[in-house]
Structure 1
Amino acid sequence: MRRLDASAIGQWLLETLGRFAAVPVSRIVPVGHGAGVCALIDGALAFPPLDYEQPIPDAVLAAYRAQRDPFAQTGSPALPDGLNFGSQLYWLDQLHPDIMKSATLLPWAQYWAWFLTDAAVSEVTSLGCHSDLWCPQAADFSPMAKRLGWASRFAPLRHAGDVVGTLRPEIAAATGLSPDVQVLAGLHDSNAALLAARGFAEIADNEATVLSTGTWFIGMRLPATPVDTATLPEARDCLVNVDVHGRAVPSARFMGGREIETLIEIDTRRVDIKPDQPALLAAVPEVLRQGRMILPTLMRGFGPYPQGCFGWINRPEDWFERRAAACLYAALVADTALDLIGASERLLVEGRFAEAEVFVRALASLRPDMTVYTANAHNDVSFGALRLIDPTLTPQGHLVRVQPLDADLDTYRNRWQAEVAASAERTAA
């Protein structure tokens, strides 16, 4: 069974914090992925939390899904494995019934706040991350979470920027940090990136979308006026995230980083390292001319084409062409996902793949009605966490407007869409 190795991560954290013993650290902000949940008993972790890629037994998952509330209420689509961490809780209730009855529950990011301070809290960006447990519009636990008794077991809610305590004496001793270091409640990692983006005047309170790129590519729209999130197509991996202020954030995602890694069969740095960019850009005309393309999806069950059957059309032998085609594929899927959430006007691509020029310039070509930016900073998530401490902080860098590729991507996209549709018809038949 796949579980998160909280013990080893905790040891790594102590060793890492120890390297800052000579630095005047005053605050720590925990940040983590949003699909993990922990159970505490008698002041200790009851058992290692589940990894969200751990498959849930079919019978358990079917019974759980019969309990779920409608997407219109929670903004959580039904996701594979344990990505709805409500499904993890449902299974854990069966695996560890006696422990779970009296356990205090808290999200993964807030587990680390507890680890450092002994203060157990919960927070909305984690609870609202496709968990099935939160209703964004009502700003409250979902009916299912209340009915199954989970809502009452979660640690008290705190704002992400609230100080929940200071370092435990043993943590201070192990790291050499001051026992007066304050620890904040912390937040979901993609929401930290969103908070960082809002530090730019071009994004701030304007109609804008942030595309966070890493293992997951997550488009998060900041609508200038309220939108009806109930109409999002949940079957195409659209969802509603919740920002640090409790506001609904229409979102769409796919496992872009994992797909690129699978496609090029080597470290994904090979599509975004600076020395390779000229050669990758130079490979694009031949990829387009030969109609070389990739059909979704490599990660079944995820993204806007969750049931798509992966395949190459005219797979190139040239290594640069293959990587350029992978970037064009990511741009086409991202373009589709952005359409699903109504992204318009401004787009900020952040994260490591913002430096993959074929990807971002192709995206700018595919979306000529949007102004596409990248940021020249490399600390999007950490800067977002810093803005919890001081919301008035603005980035030291500036946004860079992306220049579209000098190529006809409309024809390429039209053919790709036709091939995707034909593949879907073959699969259905």
Structure 2
Amino acid sequence: MSSTTPVIAIFDVGKTNKKLFLFDEHYNMVHERSARFIETVDEDGDPCENLESLRLSVFDSLREVFKKKEFEIKAINFSAYGASFVYIDENGEPVAPLYNYLKEYPEALKKQFYDQYGGEADFSVATASPVLGSLNSGMQLYRIRHEKPEMFAKIKYALHLPQYLSYLISGIPCSDITSIGCHTNLWNFNRNTYHRWLGNEGILEKMAPIIASDSVVPAAFPGNNYSVGVGLHDSSAALIPYLVNFTEPFVLISTGTWCISLNPFNNNPLTREELELDCLCYMGYKGTPVKASRLFAGFEHEQQVKRITEHFNTSAAVYRNMDYDPGVIDRLKLRGRNETPRETEAPLTASLFGQRDLAAFADDVEAYHQLISDIIGQQYRSTQLVLKNSNVKRIFVDGGFSKNAIYMNLLASVFPGREVYAASMAQATAIGTAVAIHKHWNTRTLPGDIIELKYYSVTQALAKSDE
């Protein structure tokens, strides 16, 4: 007799790739399907997500996996990028495009908003939201309210993208704190409730009821026995496996185009200075703030590697697995004695490396070690912003830089009092989204080996240097 495998289906919707994963009860991925859509344009001709393609893709993908008799779907959950609303009418139909969070925001309207609600600095501190225009999703609603009153009148609910995806399957409109609490201008972190401007503008009534991120709702289709999660903001989802696996305070540096340092154990309110240095707060899935600082280091790395490859006539592939050479770092440090220690003055927007003359380096290995050293100078300052006044002993690094031996060794050397680990976990966001509702679909205890760790110690780096 053939047995079926109980699984959870996770939709992980990024800007570029839309993926569907099936995980078994041990969190092994047993099926994956990927799709990419052609963007469409909104009424102003600006690029935006093709909402209809996305909706149809969700149903097509589910139909396909329901046909697979070897799997029994116990639950479905969703993670998606933030700062994006789907506006639905009383019949659940979208009444507007899914506006792109990079859409330019009218300066006059922005000025009107901040002038009315306390000024940029005070408002940003209260909502833990740097001034980011359309990237503050609440500002998209404010714009519709003032520029398109007829459209605004038709909106029954404004659902963040993960909650809209959940709504497609459950038919239950809801809001989730991980989406509301991430640089949206919607949440007053000081008072732990919506900011008063929502009531003043008639927007509060268009926010669906908040449902706990780790809860489930029934599916809309009769005769099924699976649960539906309410969906999560992807940045918060990626942190969940760490929160579940480690009880000791830690910081996670999630590396990619942006390197985001996340500290779930720092409850100090954001200051104006921190906001100016690109700090913000995410809301964790249990409803507590996660202090975060951002650094554009992945992008910077990509740009500067291009400079190195052009100057030394090499291939970018060489630097993916380059070994750490402490001798090279020692030489660079000796040479640096005559330089002004500009690390403290370097802005967090670009590393010092962009100002360096490549002809000063003996070879590309030396130049690349210097690039990573300069990036670590910035990374130290960025991570230090969220480490301040918290008793964190461990730093985990995941994403691209976790596989970079030079980055990891130098990071360990600038944080000598803390344990530094490269962490690897396939599909962290999707697994976090599944783990969030573990108790509602999985009969087994959570496995302790979801995350693979590799320890980097300062003493190892020094020992190599002495050999």
In the superposition, the TM-score normalised over structure 1's length comes to 0.77
1:331 pairs with 2:376: yes
Partner of 1:197: 242
Given that 1:272 and 1:357 are in contact with CA atoms closer than 8 Å, whether structure 2 keeps it comes out as: no
- What are the ranges of 5 or more consecutive residues in structure 2 without an aligned counterpart? 1-45, 308-313, 440-444, 463-467
1:218 pairs with 2:264: no
The count of aligned residue pairs is 385
Q: 1:12-66 CA deviation, whole Å, 9 max, x = no partner?
A: 4445445533122211111112211221123111122222222212222222332
Given that 2:399 and 2:424 are in contact with CA atoms closer than 8 Å, whether structure 1 keeps it comes out as: no
Which residues of 2 match residues 155-304 of structure 1 at below 5 A?
155-166=208-219, 168=221, 179-201=224-246, 204=247, 206-223=248-265, 226-230=267-271, 233-265=274-306, 276-279=320-323, 285=329
1:305 pairs with 2:353: no
Partner of 1:347: 395
- Which one-letter code corresponds to 1:187 in the other structure? L
Structure 2 residue aligned with 1:50, among 99, 107, 121?
99
Structure 1 residue 329 displacement after superposition:
4.0
Structure 1 residue 322 displacement after superposition:
5.7
Given that 2:352 and 2:374 are in contact with CA atoms closer than 8 Å, whether structure 1 keeps it comes out as: no
Over 3 Å counting, the alpha-carbon distance change for 1:73 and 1:253 in structure 2 is same
- Which one-letter code corresponds to 2:127 in the other structure? T
Which residues of 2 match residues 55-204 of structure 1 at below 5 A?
55-68=104-117, 70-79=123-132, 81-103=133-155, 104-166=157-219, 168=221, 179-201=224-246, 204=247
Given that 1:74 and 1:133 are in contact with CA atoms closer than 8 Å, whether structure 2 keeps it comes out as: yes
Over 3 Å counting, the alpha-carbon distance change for 1:271 and 1:289 in structure 2 is farther
Measure the CA separation in 2 of the matches of 1:212 and 1:272: 22
SS at match of 2:262: strand
Measure the CA separation in 2 of the matches of 1:4 and 1:124: 23
Partner of 1:388: 436
Over 3 Å counting, the alpha-carbon distance change for 1:353 and 1:278 in structure 2 is closer
SS at match of 1:34: coil
Partner of 1:424: none
Structure 2 residue aligned with 1:361, among 403, 409, 412?
409
- Which one-letter code corresponds to 2:403 in the other structure? E
- Which one-letter code corresponds to 1:62 in the other structure? K
Over 3 Å counting, the alpha-carbon distance change for 1:160 and 1:54 in structure 2 is same
Structure 1 residue aligned with 2:453, among 373, 378, 399?
399
Higher mean displacement: 234-243 or 81-90: 81-90
Measure the CA separation in 2 of the matches of 1:197 and 1:327: 26
Measure the CA separation in 1 of the matches of 2:59 and 2:52: 11
Partner of 1:418: none
- Which one-letter code corresponds to 2:284 in the other structure? D
Measure the CA separation in 2 of the matches of 1:375 and 1:271: 27
In the superposition, the TM-score normalised over structure 2's length comes to 0.72
RMSD, aligned α-carbons = 3.6
Q: 1:171-219 CA deviation, whole Å, 9 max, x = no partner?
A: xxxxxxx844322002111111221111223xx2x33211122333221
Measure the CA separation in 1 of the matches of 2:219 and 2:318: 42
Over 3 Å counting, the alpha-carbon distance change for 1:261 and 1:278 in structure 2 is closer
1:377 pairs with 2:425: yes
- Which one-letter code corresponds to 2:55 in the other structure? G
Over 3 Å counting, the alpha-carbon distance change for 1:24 and 1:87 in structure 2 is same
Over 3 Å counting, the alpha-carbon distance change for 1:231 and 1:59 in structure 2 is closer
Measure the CA separation in 1 of the matches of 2:375 and 2:117: 32
Over 3 Å counting, the alpha-carbon distance change for 1:249 and 1:276 in structure 2 is closer
Over 3 Å counting, the alpha-carbon distance change for 1:36 and 1:277 in structure 2 is same
SS at match of 1:24: strand
Structure 1 residue 93 displacement after superposition:
2.4
Given that 1:236 and 1:304 are in contact with CA atoms closer than 8 Å, whether structure 2 keeps it comes out as: no
Measure the CA separation in 2 of the matches of 1:240 and 1:149: 26
Higher mean displacement: 314-323 or 369-378: 314-323
- Which one-letter code corresponds to 1:30 in the other structure? F
Given that 1:272 and 1:355 are in contact with CA atoms closer than 8 Å, whether structure 2 keeps it comes out as: no
Identical-pair percentage: 22
Measure the CA separation in 2 of the matches of 1:384 and 1:136: 24
Higher mean displacement: 128-137 or 394-403: 394-403
Over 3 Å counting, the alpha-carbon distance change for 1:138 and 1:363 in structure 2 is same
Find the structure with the greater CA-based Rg: 2
Higher mean displacement: 336-345 or 326-335: 326-335
SS at match of 1:374: strand
SS at match of 1:129: coil
Given that 1:216 and 1:256 are in contact with CA atoms closer than 8 Å, whether structure 2 keeps it comes out as: yes
SS at match of 1:53: coil
- What are the ranges of 5 or more consecutive residues in structure 1 without an aligned counterpart? 170-177, 297-302, 408-429
